[in-house]
Amino acid sequence: MTPHTPTVGFAPEFSQRVRQGFGLRAAAYENHARLQQAMAWRLARLCRDLPLPSGPRADLGAGSGLLSRALLHHCPALAGEPPLQIDHCPELLARNPLVGSRVWDLNGGLPGDLRGAALLASSFALQWLDAPAAQLAHWCDRLRPEGWLAVALPTSGSFPQWHRAAAAAGVPCTALEFPDARALRTVTRGRGLVLEHARVLRFSHPERGGLETLRHLRSLGAATSRQPPLGAGQLRRLLAHWPTETPLSWEVLLLVGRKS
């Protein structure tokens, strides 16, 4: 891994736990990542006619390559130069079939050779960083004029049922705190991007109760929390208050913009 300087406020302990969580579940990740696959495919369709300039191209938080494979399917302009696959988890990159990968912690900013990028794409990765809005601004700054940013991530309107259940049970909510969609759109415009697409989508999983939801996140490697784990008694109280008739819902932001 090439050394680089972490950003202010970078919490290496949490970043390491995120890496380990995904690493332990890397072999089974794509079997469970249905929403992630769907969002990668949808984001790639939004990118299919982009007039890409020359310059570096990268998939940030590429993991097993779901987004880049979708981009290569939909975007003929990428056929001769697939995006560089960047991720902090070597176990996921080892399962990525695309050539050209680099182990890199995005909390430290982007590698120097991505300055003047033609395309920076990312799906379901930005929310794991310590300062998502600041990192998004940094990504925008690294684009060349007429370069493109394409991002999908869950945002703060996700998991309201989980938050309400935790409040009713009197226990901490261990769901990851997601960034605000409106604030992220504001960041991109403030950094000179003209947004071609800015959509907030909502999805739900009506078949999953509280215990099934937590197990699903663990099977993805996505159960890492900034909160300490709940004790057995706290978990029982949480599950007792988990809604049985209201599905858990996700709010997902899709952004595609061009640097003016």
Residue 68 lies in a domain: yes
Condensed to tens digits (0 to 9), the pLDDT of residues 159-209 reads: 999 999 999 999 999 999 999 999 999 999 999 999 999 999 999 876 668
pLDDT digits (tens, 9 = 90+) for 50-60: 999 999 999 99
| Domain contains 5 | no
Instruction: List C-alpha distances in Å: 137 to 6, 17, 190, 193.
Output: 15, 25, 8, 10
Q: Look at residue 104 and tell me if it is in a domain.
A: yes
What is the pLDDT of the chain when averaged over all its residues? 93
User: What's the token pair of residue 136?
Assistant: 């998004």
pLDDT means per 10 residues in the chain (260 residues)?
42 90 95 94 95 96 97 90 96 96 97 97 97 97 98 97 97 97 98 97 80 90 94 97 87 97
What pLDDT is attached to residue 135? 98
Q: What is the pLDDT of residue 224?
A: 95
Residues 154, 124: Cα–Cα separation, whole Å: 7
What is the pLDDT, as a whole number, of residue 207? Answer: 60
In a domain, 4, yes or no: no
Tell whether 6 is covered by a domain.
no
Our count of domains for the chain comes to: 1
pLDDT score of 206: 65
Q: Which amino acid is at 78?
A: L
For residue 99, tell me if it sits in a domain.
yes
CATH of the domain at 164: 3.40.50.150
- For residue 133, tell me if it sits in a domain: yes
Domain that holds residue 204: 12-259
Q: Do residues 140 and 169 lie in contact, with contact meaning Cβ atoms separated by under 8 Å?
A: no
Q: Which pLDDT score, from 0 to 100, does residue 252 have?
A: 98
Indicate whether 194 belongs to any domain: yes
